[in-house]
Amino acid sequence: MTLTRFSGKTVVITGAGTGMGRAAAIRLSREGARCVLVGRRQAPLDEVAAEIVAQGGSTLAIACDIANAADVEAMMRQAAGENGRIAGLFANAGVLGMFKPLAETETADFEGLVSTNLLGTFLTIKHALPHLQGGAVVINASWTVNSVMPGAGAYAATKGALIAMMHTLAMEQGARNVRINSISPGIILTPMADEVLDPALSARLAAHAPLGRNGTPDDIAGTVAWLLSDDAGFVTGQDIAIDGGFTLGGPRL
């Protein structure tokens, strides 16, 4: 049975050119969503848009730096279109930064991560909210918040802040029937992950997961679609781990 949970609805996906954002956009489009693809680089967005259109979907690709408040505000107005509404937001965009011990982490390392992961996500949600009448937001956090990957301390700090922000937003926006949740993906084989995972480390991490493998972007897309849909209409303020059980029992490295 083909799902049509998002028929006639507009959903914004940041970081949509690759990885989890791309997979979510394709999944949502197949369920009827008009997907607004957002990212820093136009070319990858256009490639995803072409794939969606080839499958009969509707999409709009907008290059935008989410750390720039004016650009984000303008992007959301364009995304909302003629009816001034969006039904959902997958605040997915983020960067890993350089992996290094916290004792060796410099101010500039933190500034880059905070600018995109924290400030950029905040601005994305802030400027989406006026266009959300009901609907839902899903924030992409990380398994590193509740477990440990040595060298990822600065990255994990920004992701932990996102979960704290998610909890507050869920309380503040509940009266408007706007649901705010987050996901904490585990080891997901994306182009960004490929920058830090060599094949030996990837295999070692997969061996620690009860399901015996690392995840793929498609493993994330289904949960994102559910959280954004009316099927999760009584779910808010929650962080959902999507990690194949990797973090069971605490740190695994």
| Residue ranges of domains in the chain, CATH in brackets | 10-242 (3.40.50.720)
Q: How far is CA 243 from the centre of its chain?
A: 15
DSSP summary character for residue 195:
T
Q: pLDDT of the chain along its 253 residues, tens only?
A: 467 899 999 999 999 999 999 999 999 999 999 999 999 999 999 999 999 999 999 999 999 999 999 999 999 999 999 788 999 999 999 999 998 999 999 999 999 999 999 999 999 999 999 999 899 999 999 999 988 888 999 999 999 999 999 999 999 999 999 999 999 999 998 877 777 777 888 888 888 889 999 999 999 999 999 999 999 999 999 999 999 999 986 655 6
Residue in 155, 157, 158, 180 annotated catalytic = 155
Residue 155 falls in the annotated catalytic set:
yes
How far apart are alpha carbons 53 and 63 in whole angstroms?
A: 18
Among candidate residues 122, 123, 121, 128, the one with its CA nearest the CA of residue 10:
128
The b/e string for 193-220 (b: 16+ C-beta within 10 A; e otherwise) is beeebeeeebeebbebbeeebbbebebb
How far apart are alpha carbons 19 and 190 in whole angstroms?
A: 5
How far apart are alpha carbons 113 and 220 in whole angstroms?
A: 22
**pTM for the whole structure:** 0.94
How far apart are alpha carbons 53 and 88 in whole angstroms?
A: 20
